[in-house]
Chain A
Amino acid sequence: MTISPALPVALPMLAAAAIAGVRRWLSRAVVDAVAILTAATNLVMCALLLTRSWDAPIVYWFGNWFPRGRMVLGVGFVIDPVGAGLATLAALLMLLALIYSSSAMESGDNHYQPLMLVFLAAMSGFVLTGDLFNLFVFFELMSTAAFALCGLKVEEPAPLQGAFNFAVTNTVGAFFTLTGLAFVYAATGALNMAQIGSLLGSRHDTLVIGGYLFLITGFLIKSAAVPFHFWLADAHAVSPTPVCVLFSGIMVELGLFAILRVTNTMFRASMGPPHTALRDVLLTVGAVSAVWGGAMCFAEHHLKRLLAFSTISHAGAMMMALAVNTPAAIAGWLVYLFAHAMAKSGLFFTAGILLHRLRTMSEPLLFARGTKLRFTAALWLLGGCALAGLPPFAISLGEELTSSATKHSDASVVLMAAFLLSGTLTAAAVFRVFMRVFCGWGDHGPADRSAEVDELPEMHEQNRVIPARMFVPALLCVLFGTVPFLLPQAVSWSGVAAARMLDQQAYIRVVYGQARSAVAQSSLAADVWSALLHSLLAVACGAALAAAAVFHKAVPRRLRWASHMEGSMVWMRSLQSGHAGDYVVWTMAGFSLLGTALFLLR
Chain B
Amino acid sequence: MNSVIHTFPYLVAGWVFLCGLYGIVTSRHLVHMVVSMAVLQTSTYILLLNIGFRQSGAAPVFADLPPSTRIVDPIVQALMLTDIVVEATVVALVLAFVVKAHENAGTLSPDDLRMMRG
Contacts and interface: CB of A to CB of B under 8 A. Distances in A.
A305 B25 contact: no
Interface string B32-58: 011001001101100110010000000
Contact of A164 (B17, B44, B76, B98): B98
A411 to B, nearest CB: 33
A580 interface: yes
Interface in A153-199: 154-158, 160-164, 167-168, 171-172, 175, 178-179, 181-182, 185-186, 191
B117 A160 contact: no
Interface in A568-602: 570, 573-574, 576-582, 584-585, 588
Nearest to B47: A182
A160 B100 contact: yes
Point out which of B24, B75, B76 has the most chain A C-beta atoms below 10 A from its C-beta.
B24
A448 interface: yes
B115 A164 contact: no
A581 B25 contact: yes
A576 B117 CA distance: 6
A137 interface: yes
A175 B40 contact: yes
A141 B24 contact: no
A21 B21 CA distance: 38
A178 B82 CA distance: 12
A167 B90 contact: yes
Nearest to A150: B97
Nearest to A448: B118
A123 to B, nearest CB: 16
B118 A574 contact: yes
Contact of A162 (B20, B82, B83, B116): B116
B65 interface: no
Contacts of B114: 161, 577-579
Nearest to B110: A579
Interface string B8-26: 0000000001001100111
Given A157-B101, A171-B37, A584 B117 contact: no
B21 A140 contact: no
B93 A148 contact: yes
A555 interface: no
B105 A179 contact: no
Interface in B53-110: 75-76, 79, 82-83, 86-87, 89-90, 93-94, 97-98, 100-101, 104-105, 110
Contact of B47 (A155, A160, A179, A576): A179
- Secondary structure class of chain B's binding surface, majority of residues: helix
B37 A186 contact: no
Point out which of A160, A302, A453, A588 has the most chain B C-beta atoms below 10 A from its C-beta.
A160
B44 A175 contact: yes
B116 A234 contact: yes
Contact of A580 (B33, B47, B117): B33
A158 B115 contact: yes
Contacts of B94: 147, 164, 167-168, 171
A578 B111 CA distance: 8
Interface residues of A, number: 54
Interface residues of B, number: 43
Interface string A436-454: 0000000000001110010
Contact of B93 (A144, A448, A580): A144
Point out which of A182, A302, A453 has the most chain B C-beta atoms below 10 A from its C-beta.
A182
A480 interface: no
A61 interface: no
A133 interface: yes
A160 B86 contact: no
Contacts of B101: 157, 160, 164
A588 B118 contact: no
B114 to A, nearest CB: 4
A154 B103 CA distance: 10
A185 B76 contact: yes
A172 B40 contact: yes
B113 A577 contact: no
B118 A164 contact: no
Contact of A168 (B24, B105, B118): B24
A581 B37 contact: no
A583 to B, nearest CB: 9
5 contacts: A144-B93, A156-B104, A157-B101, A171-B87, A579-B111
Complex A-B, nearest 7 residue pairs according to Cβ-Cβ distance, in ascending order: A578-B114, A573-B118, A158-B115, A157-B105, A154-B100, A450-B116, A186-B51
Interface of B: 17, 20-21, 24-27, 30, 33-34, 37, 40-41, 43-44, 47-48, 51, 75-76, 79, 82-83, 86-87, 89-90, 93-94, 97-98, 100-101, 104-105, 110-111, 113-118
Interface of A: 133, 137, 140-141, 143-144, 147-148, 151, 154-158, 160-164, 167-168, 171-172, 175, 178-179, 181-182, 185-186, 191, 233-234, 237-238, 302, 305, 448-450, 453, 570, 573-574, 576-582, 584-585, 588
Given A162-B116, A449-B118, A588-B25, 20 more contacts: A148-B93, A151-B97, A155-B104, A158-B116, A160-B100, A163-B97, A164-B94, A164-B98, A171-B90, A178-B44, A178-B83, A179-B47, A302-B116, A448-B118, A570-B118, A576-B117, A579-B111, A580-B33, A581-B110, A584-B25
